[in-house]
Structure 1
Amino acid sequence: MSDCGCDKARRDLEEYLRHEVCKTSAVDIADHLENCPQCQEEALVARTLTEVVARACKETAPDELRDQVIARLRSVQATH
């Protein structure tokens, strides 16, 4: 395949990291990332951010807070 260039690599980076681009585009972007330190750095930041957000989404609210929110929602629903 061929190097797709910085513009395409950056434009499609998020989809590439989530494996949401076609095989041809994935190979082209991977080839570009191998040879472009600036895009490698951007990809590292994007991967790190994605991992941090994924970890944060796995956290759950304390039971007491959830109970308070549910009680408040029921109260609001009962008055409307």
Structure 2
Amino acid sequence: MSDAPPTETDIRYRAMQFALSLPKVGPLDAATLANEMGDFFLEKQEPYARINVATLVFQRWGATMTAAQFMQTVRAMATGVLEELPG
């Protein structure tokens, strides 16, 4: 396993996996969500923390959410979590 930091492609692929896994999200919304999530994950230096928040939201509510609800919830929860990180 490599210790290299994730590339932008790795992070955007992870965003695409989330978007395509949400059962209530159609193809066009999934594409939009994947792009928005990829941008969100890459906004700052903690993409894995943001991905972890998205994972928790997905596990808890993913089956019931639209693309907009998912992104809104991930943003809100990540903001609260990431404000607590040192540095």
- Give the structure-2-normalised TM-score: 0.32
Give 1 or 2 for the bigger CA radius of gyration: 1
